[in-house]
Chain A
Amino acid sequence: MSQKQNKKPLWIHPWGYVESFSVAFGLISVGFAMEFSTQGRGVPDFTNATLNVTAVVLVFLILTGGLFFRKVPLIQWLSGVPAAISAIAGISFMALLMGLTLQQQNPDAFWVSRLGLSRITSSWPYLIATFYLLVVLGMATIKRIYPWKPGNIGYLLNHLGLWIVIFAATFGASQIQRLEMTLQEGRLEYRALDRKYNVWIDMPFAIRLHDFVLEQYPPKLGIIDNKTGRIIHENGKYLMLVDTAATGTMLDWYIRVLTYFDQSGKAGEHYYFNNEPGAAPSVQVQAKNEKFSDTITGWISCGSFNRPYEALKISDQYSLIMLFPEPKRFLSEIEILTKDTETVPVSLEVNSPFSFQGWKIYQVSYDDELGRWSDTSVIELVRDPWLPAVYSGIFMMMAGAVTLFWRGNKTLTTS
């Protein structure tokens, strides 16, 4: 059987691996040719109408082809394993290119920009490889849905789930809106910036920032080389978090924290507790050199936007310094005001966005320089109408993964 297939002349049905890979290779080559001939401008922004029509036509073609013309050799080939493998290989090739080249806005190299290698997701070969995968995956799925067998459930969840995810992500991509809004404490804001097109959008609701809160970890102490100014940390080994039992060893020094203020000011040679804006953390430390039995005591502070930092020189070569505290959590106490004068208080935090009128609202950043005294908070507003479709695909794939697990188990017991 396989002998015969090998001797079959090329391009006579049934098509096998050689034909399938030739098709995939041909399609991607056409994609690169299109990219090259359009000066590497990539896939243009299609209008929603164009996208919707294309989506409907694609689904229609897959359904009619898969349901009514399944005896046609071309459709048989499209729903078979060789075509599937060539389609997976095609998309793998595009993903590999993406994984090996830096994806950025303005590449230097002529060929990189001309072939769209620095923004592959908006290039013609990528789009064509995706379409090929959608057609092949769609045809294969239909073959298993109709006629239906209960044993196909796992296959269906995995394949249809993946198809829905790719389909919805591809056609929904251009309808995603990601807007940035900069809030100032006490002020009402209703305009947001669309960075992709650099336009300001008037939102159907306004947001007021009541309070921006930043909680920090205690600062870390480190050791620097006086000449180079570089921190010597040996992969973090010599970074010491100032907590309750703060002692540690850095190079030849044994370090002990004597006093610690999370907010402080300086008077004379000493620091004292102070909670004015900009009051920086400080520690009094004792550094004991274990080789020369030499002990030095002094104050260290990382400073802030309005306070100087202070290092402690422990030898000609080294000094102890304090690093800026790292953020533990930050959140914005905001209030959303709608046109019907409804107000919704929200506490917006990283990793827990708030959903409102089809938008998801995210805490993004703040004024780095002011840190915990920042009265600015940057939030992001995201709208993705196709998200429910993508999620339904994702949940199908999750269920499919579970069936895969069981199937694996089944083969285990029989072998």
Chain B
Amino acid sequence: MIWINYNVYAALAITTWLVGLLLMYRGKSAGTKNAGLVFIVVGQLIISFFLVQLWLLLDRPPMRTLGETRLWYSFFLPAVGLVTYFRWRYRWFLAYSLILSALFLVLNAIYPENYSKTLMPALQSPWFVPHVVVYIFAYALLAASSIVAVRGLFSSYRQQDEVTRQSLGLADNLVYIGFAFLTLGLLFGALWAKEAWGHYWTWDPKETWAFITWIIYLLYLHFRFRQKLTANQLFWTLLIAFLVLLICWFGVNNLPSAANSIHTYTR
């Protein structure tokens, strides 16, 4: 029971983001808009500071429980949004990534975490940090691709062909990079499993769902390669793929098939 004032940090971050977005959207001059961007970066720094503090306090990587992985998600999602903004100036995308990140911060406030210091021996491995970080980064990128997909469906409904085309391009790029990280996360997991459990792949329910997630994005990449599907069909594929990803991340623990999973660390 480590007392850490999570709610204050979360509220501060969300407030700076709101102010930042308001300035970026309502600001008249370039100066005001840049100030908005500064606010958003500050919000990102607040989350980073909280993570560092938590890591130091717990004396272990804060990546064990679902709530802890949600925190990393809230950290990576704005990071992806900011990089995309600096590179291609997608303002709407930055806004959505911040909203989604804020949603996860609120989720953690509603379901407060047990910041327990204990870490079971199975998780004490040099693979722990790279495996989780790479995975959550991939999840953030793929979540971003599903935001783009929703945007694409909307623009296609309104028959804004140029926006639809751009969205598809952006979604593609996010999926390519996201899939690369997803693959690395999966393979790091396999190498770690060999060291910890004696075999690289045991079809544990979490592994099965990680495999399903991976293969659905693989399907998307092959759909794209053939270029036969319409933009709408591709956007829907991305949304279904992200649904499977969420089942893998949160849902598995509640599936009847996962009764014997060795991937539960939330006791």
Contact = CB atoms under 8 A, between A and B. Distances in A.
B184 A401 contact: yes
Interface string B85-99: 001100000000000
A275 interface: no
Contacts of B212: 92, 95-96, 99
Nearest to A407: B176
A351 B118 CA distance: 17
Contacts, number: 159
B53 interface: no
A382 B198 contact: yes
Interface residues of B, number: 61
Interface residues of A, number: 65
Interface string B202-225: 010100110110011011001101
Contact of B118 (A101, A237, A326): A326
A246 B141 CA distance: 41
B195 A240 contact: no
A57 B137 CA distance: 42
B117 A238 contact: no
A81 B116 contact: no
A164 interface: no
Contacts of A92: 212, 215-216, 219
B255 interface: yes
Nearest to A240: B1
B195 A397 contact: no
Given A217-B118, A241-B116, A390-B200, A405 B180 contact: yes
B6 to A, nearest CB: 12
A92 B176 CA distance: 20
16 contacts: A89-B219, A92-B216, A92-B219, A95-B211, A100-B257, A239-B116, A241-B117, A326-B120, A328-B118, A329-B121, A350-B122, A394-B200, A398-B184, A401-B184, A404-B183, A408-B172
Interface of A: 2, 81-82, 84-85, 88-89, 91-92, 95-96, 98-104, 121, 169, 176, 178, 217, 220, 233, 235-241, 243, 248, 326-330, 349-353, 360, 362, 380, 382, 384, 387, 390, 394, 397-398, 400-402, 404-405, 407-409, 411-412, 415
